[in-house]
Amino acid sequence: MIQVLLGDPGAGKSSLVLRFVKGQFVEFQESTIGAAFFSQTLVVNDATVKFEIWDTAGQERYHSLAPMYYRGAAAAIIVYDITNPASFDRAKKWVLELQAQGNPNMVMALAGNKADLLDDRKVAAEASV
Ligand SMILES: Nc1nc2c(ncn2[C@@H]2O[C@H](COP(=O)(O)OP(=O)(O)OP(=O)(O)O)[C@@H](O)[C@H]2O)c(=O)[nH]1
Ligand SMILES: [Mg+2]
């Protein structure tokens, strides 16, 4: 299953993938250039699922590359940082772009990242896209 992560720079896309694939977290994760590819095989309900993940770069100058990664994806995870309202606004734009230009069968999920920084939350849990 091909999956793509989209979202503001600094939202934590690479950190989520690194945790999922290697179980690691680094405090000073470098900003992604272009996109990075990861894969992870898991057994889910007796079925073996191979996740093939495109971790895209959030910086605006890479925006035009994004369709190359989301067009073939079965699922997209749009990541924002709960302490950063601008990242939530950017997430809404990704939803609109995927609705307009993505594969209509693609599953979309919105992930409010940096849940450990709850005291600094600036996007309400009930905020809607
Ligand atoms: N406190 C906290 N920090 C996080 C969390 N996830 C990521 N970070 C930090 O946020 C910074 C940015 O994370 P990245 O994973 O590089 O963000 P990104 O979305 O991949 O950014 P780009 O590659 O530039 O698009 C890093 O310094 C991470 O250590 C989290 O859940 N909690
Ligand atoms: Mg990254």
pLDDT digits (tens, 9 = 90+) for 70-124: 999 999 999 999 999 999 999 999 999 999 999 999 999 999 999 999 999 999 9
> What distance in Å separates the CA atoms of residue 97 and residue 123, rounded to the nearest whole number?
21
Please give the average per-residue pLDDT across 26-37, as a whole number: 96
Take atom 7 of ligand 1 and give the residue whose Cα is closest.
12
Expressed in angstroms and rounded, the spacing between residue 114 Cα and the centre of ligand 1 is 8
User: With the C-alpha atoms ordered 37, 66, 62, 113, is the resulting torsion angle positive or negative?
Assistant: negative
Q: Do 90 and 80 touch, CB atoms closer than 8 A? A: yes
Q: Is 116 in the pocket of ligand 1 (CB under 6 A)?
A: yes
pLDDT on residue 128: 76
In this predicted structure, the answer to whether residue 129 has a pLDDT above a threshold of 90 is: no
User: With the C-alpha atoms ordered 56, 3, 112, 85, is the resulting torsion angle positive or negative?
Assistant: positive
Expressed in angstroms and rounded, the spacing between residue 8 Cα and the centre of ligand 2 is 9
Q: Is 7 in the pocket of ligand 1 (CB under 6 A)?
A: yes
Q: Is 13 in the pocket of ligand 1 (CB under 6 A)?
A: yes
Pairing of the two strands 75-81 and 2-7:
parallel
pLDDT on residue 10: 97
- Give the mean pLDDT of the chain: 96
Identify which of 109, 4, 122, 125 has the alpha carbon closest to the alpha carbon of residue 55.
4
Share of the chain above pLDDT 70, in %: 100
In this predicted structure, the answer to whether residue 15 has a pLDDT above a threshold of 90 is: yes
Q: Is 29 in the pocket of ligand 1 (CB under 6 A)?
A: yes
**Phi/psi of residue 86, nearest 5 degrees:** -65, -35
pLDDT on residue 126: 86
Take atom 16 of ligand 1 and give the residue whose Cα is closest.
29
In this predicted structure, the answer to whether residue 127 has a pLDDT above a threshold of 90 is: no
Expressed in angstroms and rounded, the spacing between residue 46 Cα and the centre of ligand 2 is 32
Please report, for the chain, how many H helices and E strands are present, in that order.
3, 5
pLDDT on residue 66: 97
Please give the average per-residue pLDDT across 49-67, as a whole number: 97
